[in-house]
Amino acid sequence: AINWQSCALHFRLWDLSPSNMAGGMRKRQSEHPLEETIAPSFGSGRIIGEGKVSLISPQRVLETGQRQLLLLPPGEKVKPGIQTVIKVGSKGQKLHGVYVSREGNINHMRWLSKLESYRLQSIRLHKPSFHSPNKLVELSKNLRAGIGTDTYPILQITLPEFKYPVVAMHAVKDSKSPILPKILPIGHPERLFVLHDPGMDKPNPVEIKFQKLAKKLGQASLIQIKPNVRERQALRRIIEEPYHLREVKSHDKELLWKFRYRLTTMKNTITRFLRCVDFSDADEKEEALKMMKIWEKEKTVSTEDALELLSEDFKNEDVRKFAVKQLDKENNTEIEKYLMLLVQALQYEHGYPSPLSEFICKRSAQKLTMATAVNWYLTVEAAEAPKMYSAVLREFRNTHLTATEEGKKWKKDIENQMQMVDDIRSLCRMVTTKGGKQSRRVENLRAALQEDGKFAELTKFKSPVRFPLDPSVLLSGIVPEKSTVFASNAFPVLLAFQRHNSEEIVRVIYKDGDDLRQDQLIMQLVKLMDSRLKKQGLDLQLISFQVQGWSAKDGVVEFVPGCNTVASVIDESKEIGKFLQEHNHKPKLMENALNNWVKSSAGYSVLTYILAIGDRHLDNILLTKDGHMLHIDFGYIFGRDPKPFPPKVKFTKDMMDAMGGPEFEEQFYEKSCISYNLLRRDACLILNLIALTGDWAGNKKDNLAVVGSRLALERNDDDAAKDYKLLIYKVMHSNFEALKDGIHTIATNLKK
């Protein structure tokens, strides 16, 4: 049993300077609950002082509150009746005249240095006023007066306080408690153990308080203040560098707050400013809302800024409402580009309804393509997070779509479309679950669509159904003989639809078991980056296609006609260049095909590199007869890949040889480097869109880090272009990549 009268904290202060240390650190065995800890072996180290504080009072109550403990050298004692421990009152007794010089590896803090300078100056001018009347200090002076040195060290101790008094009791005799281990004597060498301080990585409350005080001083004078050269350079760096790639430091926040009035006339600055605002502080919040109105008046808030303000980093409702207000200034064509990610941003709203949900529903009800798209976006998300997304979906269908006669017709069209989707899903899953090789699966598909088949009604709809990927197209039914099954791992199904009142065949690829939200995201980013390049006068002849998820596990992809996989082209024609010659006999057609090949190869190589698209093989790269390259199947994105040692970019020697000579090869490198540097300038927009994605896209922090590293924003344009050109050259001449392509081709042929 433990005697409560002996419960105490024993403190010993050691001199750990190199001259007084021996032995360093050693591992030890201990019977203490914190086993296998690392304890310092002080060896011949010098003990400066030691002392003891009792934990239990004579009244058998656990001690609480602040204490001051005098640390005496070993063996030195005080006269009887003199206390070496003093209890500090509720107001506290501060020890004045203490100055700690900052030496060694302590981080430099400008504001703290200023306070130190002021403190030292005060000590010099008013030295007598800093002598504490504390009894313990006087005792310490008297004890050491005989040897002519400074006072003994005094330790300030804060014991935890509890709501109710904790009373000590004797343990029951012969009690074998597993909680209380063997208590070692105070002088035992294994009594010491290392504990982690959980507050080490937390913000410094003194520094935070200083920043708040600094923000509230001189508000009026900040309107006309101008930054000096060094401050301008720092502000430029903060504004140009995406926030995703580095933590905003305290001195950056000071600069942004100090020069906030000047920032209102600059683009892409409002988000940086709002990141340094503490919205839990009423004064800062009021100032931030006032500044937002100035930014709006200056018309320097872009769509890019509004998208960033809708990310999970901005939780204040006024800020999110402000972002929606800025988006409302854009037309429907522009909003449609970001519609999928705006739906994703709903997960960061405080509740339903919200300004963002109202905005999405209102805008989508104005255009058929947007109404169809948002219906499927919300349907997919409602299955994952049913409460909020289901509520928005109901509001959209039952309130916004039914507000007009045209909207009521669209609602009926969407309902017919969803019924068709359910039937197609059942058909394709029946085919894929029966098993067998590709040829057997094709037979099962076409048999199910015959007149006596289980899904015969899909060959001729009762009334035309709007095509989910393009609602302006009406479908009459599925054409069995033109539908098939691919030999890929998941055996996707190619469905051929007859267009209503037309001979045209519309094809889509149904994929089961894949979350096509990733494909949707990548194609949206591809289209966006292509449009940004075209605005800069660079048309890379990129072909994109529609993708639509029907749930988190299935969906359809638009089939691009006239395409062949690069693997099949090499298998049949042996060379890509020979394939292009076979389909472009005239010189002008061949020249146009080579131009398309050079530009589209450069474009897709850069885009797939920046977005870190994985699982790149020759069956995932398509080639049209007129020379356009395009990538498909984006199941692995942002650095993920099912195979070990994946290349950062997919480009083979056969692809380069198809360009027909040094002139076109030089054009390829030139187009690649120019497009890469142009897209690096849009890094903030690209990263903002990725930041809005949900958990289905993987760890958001990792995704941003991967894409940020691919953008190489720390490099200038010339160095970044050289790095990318060297990367292409290394991958193109890699024998290992050629071997992997050969193995993949053999494995694919075995499945047929």
Contact call for residues 256 and 291 (beta carbons, < 8 A): no
Cα–Cα distance measured from residue 456 to residue 396, given in angstroms and rounded to the nearest whole number: 33
Is residue 446 classed as helix, strand or coil in its secondary structure?
helix
Position 537, amino acid = G
CA 473 to chain centre: 38
Radius of gyration of the chain (CA): 36
Q: Which CATH superfamily is domain 564-751 in?
A: Phosphatidylinositol 3-/4-kinase, catalytic domain (1.10.1070.11)
In this structure, are residues 288 and 294 in contact, taking their beta carbons and an 8 Å threshold? no
In Å, how far are 30, 566, 640, 740 from 646, measured between CA atoms? 48, 18, 9, 10
Q: Is residue 417 a contact partner of residue 468, using CB atoms and an 8 Å limit?
A: yes
Task: Please state, in angstroms and rounded to a whole number, the distance separating the CA atoms of residues 292 and 271.
Answer: 10
The pLDDT, as a whole number, for residue 742 is: 74
Q: Select from 597, 590, 599, 654 the least CA-distant residue to 624.
A: 597
At 183 the pLDDT is: 58
Alpha-carbon gap, residue 389 to 397, rounded angstroms: 12
215 — phi, psi (to 5°)? -65, -30
Pick from 707, 720, 709: nearest CA to 675: 720
Q: Which CATH architecture has domain 207-403?
A: Alpha Horseshoe (1.25)
Q: Which residues pair with 167 in a beta bridge?
A: 61
The number of angstroms, rounded, from the C-alpha of 510 to the middle of its chain's C-alpha atoms is 31
Place of tokens 């010189």: 587
Domains of the chain, by residue range, sit at 4-95+132-191, 207-403, 564-751
Neighbours of 213 (CB within 10 A): 9
Element (H, E) at 250: helix 250-258
Asked if residue 594 lies in contact with residue 580, where contact means CB atoms within 8 angstroms, the answer is: yes
Quick check: 467 and 497 in contact, CB under 8 A? yes
pLDDT, block means (10 residues), the chain with 752 residues: 73 72 42 38 66 86 88 80 71 35 44 53 44 52 48 84 80 48 62 63 72 60 76 87 73 86 89 89 89 92 92 92 94 92 92 92 94 94 84 93 93 94 91 78 89 90 93 93 83 92 92 89 93 93 92 91 87 86 90 93 95 90 92 90 87 87 88 95 91 88 92 92 92 79 69 56
Looking at residue 190, what DSSP letter applies?
G
Q: What is the DSSP letter of 165?
A: P
Residues 6+ apart with CB under 8 A from 487: 438, 748, 751, 752
pLDDT digits (tens, 9 = 90+) for 677-697: 999 999 989 999 999 998 888
DSSP reduced 3-state for 199 = coil
DSSP structure string for 594-619: HHHHHHHHHHHHHHHHHTT-----TT
Per-residue pLDDT at 180 = 45
Q: Distances in Å between the alpha carbon of 368 and those of 116, 318, 409, 421, 627?
A: 67, 31, 10, 18, 33
Contact between 509 and 493 under an 8 Å Cβ cutoff? The reply is: yes
CA distance 651 to 631: 12
The CA angle 603-608-613, to the nearest 5 degrees, is 165
Least Cα distance to 272 among 262, 286, 283, 282 occurs for 262
Neighbours of 643 (CB within 10 A): 13
pTM of the model: 0.69
Q: What does DSSP say about strands 65-70 and 85-87: parallel, antiparallel, or unpaired?
A: antiparallel
- What are the backbone dihedrals phi and psi of residue 531, each rounded to the nearest 5 degrees, phi first? -65, -35
Q: Which of 713, 502, 696 is nearest to 610 (CA)?
A: 713
